[in-house]
Amino acid sequence: MIDVYFWPTPNGRKITIMLEECDMPYTIVPVDIGGGDQFTPEFLRICPNNRMPAIIDKEPLGGGEPISIFESGAIMEYLAEKSGKFLPKDPAKKYAVLQWVHWQMANLGPMMGNANHFKNYAKNMVDDESKLEYGQRRFIGEVDRLAGVMDTQLSLHPYLAGNDYSIADMITWPWAMFLNRLAAPEGSDGGWDAYPNVKRWVDEVGSRDAVKRGQAAGGDLGKQELTKEQEEARRKLLFNQTNESVRQAREAALKG
Ligand SMILES: N[C@@H](CCC(=O)N[C@@H](CS)C(=O)NCC(=O)O)C(=O)O
């Protein structure tokens, strides 16, 4: 059985989608990131980066003691290796998949995260919204570029790594499904018009039963109504982390 430390965000859903695709049994352990669960000693002992997702596999690949893994890319590779699915063994085909896995982890995810921050969250954190313009242009522009990279690839191939559905598609889909809301060519309001091949692929991957189940998993989490004060406290917790604050939390966790 695999414990998935999870909150219903795109990074969390990559893992539930893969587990559903592989038909591997799992238990969701909620990590309420607005409430500070990513700083509990239990979580920091398995994830030094105070970010979900993470997993503990009690029946690990290779046998022996339970293992824990953080970073969604590493988790996807591990689950692919354990299940023998969605990551070919042939080296050329394997790296055709892994290059897109790393592309998602280093490019699409972080850039969409920053675009979302500047577009939707940051207005509550500055006195004058015009201060956000450069950040919005920079990150929304970069997301538009990445959507173009993806759209071109998907105009040439059915899936990101070629002819076969793989962990590259599963890791990218939970983010890419929002490209119509976050990417926008200069002067446009967004939508799918500029990225028709991404739209075709978003619909096709989204119609898979396992993807629907993985997307719905833990869907009752994070639904509580929040007061303005609670929202403010959650923003402070998420956006004021420093060298000192994370160091102290992890050192306390390791002592405990
Ligand atoms: N590169 C990491 C990113 C994970 C990540 O950013 N998780 C966010 C939620 S989507 C989180 O846990 N945030 C908690 C925080 O900001 O304190 C991965 O892919 O696993």
pLDDT digits (tens, 9 = 90+) for 86-136: 999 999 999 999 999 999 999 999 999 999 999 998 988 899 999 999 999
Q: What is the pTM of this model?
A: 0.96
Q: Residue 230 falls within a domain, yes or no?
A: yes
Q: Residue 122 falls within a domain, yes or no?
A: yes
Q: Residue 256 falls within a domain, yes or no?
A: no
- The preferred substitution site among 16, 52, 120, 234 for testing ligand 1, maximizing ligand atoms within 8 Å of CB, is 52
Are residues 116 and 30 part of one domain? no
Ligand 1: residue whose CA is nearest its atom 8: 51
Cβ contact 205:158 at 8 Å: no
d(CA 15, ligand 1 centre) in Å: 13
* Helices vs. strands in the chain: H and E counts, helices first: 12, 4
Q: Residue 253 falls within a domain, yes or no?
A: no
Q: Residue 254 falls within a domain, yes or no?
A: no
Q: Which atom of ligand 1 is nearest to the CA of 53?
A: 20
Q: For 123, which DSSP code? A: G
Query: For residue 182, which of 153, 144, 149, 151 has the smallest C-alpha distance?
Result: 144
CATH number at residue 44: 3.40.30.10
Q: Residue 251 falls within a domain, yes or no?
A: no
Q: Residue 37 falls within a domain, yes or no?
A: yes
Are residues 56 and 107 part of one domain? no
Q: Is the pLDDT of residue 157 over 90?
A: yes
User: What is the average per-residue pLDDT within 155-163?
Assistant: 98
Are residues 159 and 131 part of one domain? yes
Are residues 101 and 80 part of one domain? no
Are residues 54 and 153 part of one domain? no
Are residues 131 and 59 part of one domain? no
d(CA 92, ligand 1 centre) in Å: 30
- The preferred substitution site among 11, 49, 171, 239 for testing ligand 1, maximizing ligand atoms within 8 Å of CB, is 11
CB-based burial, 25-47: b 16+ in 10 Å, e otherwise: ebebbbbebbbbbbbeeebbebb
- Residue 189: its pLDDT value, please? 82
Are residues 176 and 239 part of one domain? no
Both tokens assigned to 83: 């299940």
Q: Is the pLDDT of residue 183 over 90?
A: no
Q: pLDDT-based confidence at 198, cuts 50/70/90? A: very high
Give the number of domains in the chain: 2
d(CA 133, ligand 1 centre) in Å: 25
Q: What are phi and psi of 58, to 5 degrees?
A: -85, -15
Are residues 197 and 103 part of one domain? yes
Are residues 101 and 69 part of one domain? no
CATH number at residue 104: 1.20.1050.10
Mean pLDDT computed over every residue of the chain? 95
- Residue 125: its pLDDT value, please? 87
Within 8 A by CB and 6+ apart from 224, the residues are none
Q: Residue 158 falls within a domain, yes or no?
A: yes
User: What is the average per-residue pLDDT within 63-81?
Assistant: 98
Ligand 1: residue whose CA is nearest its atom 1: 71
* Structural domain range at position 79: 2-85+215-244
Are residues 70 and 136 part of one domain? no
Are residues 231 and 179 part of one domain? no
Q: How many residues are present in the chain?
A: 256
Are residues 134 and 39 part of one domain? no
User: What is the average per-residue pLDDT within 142-150?
Assistant: 97
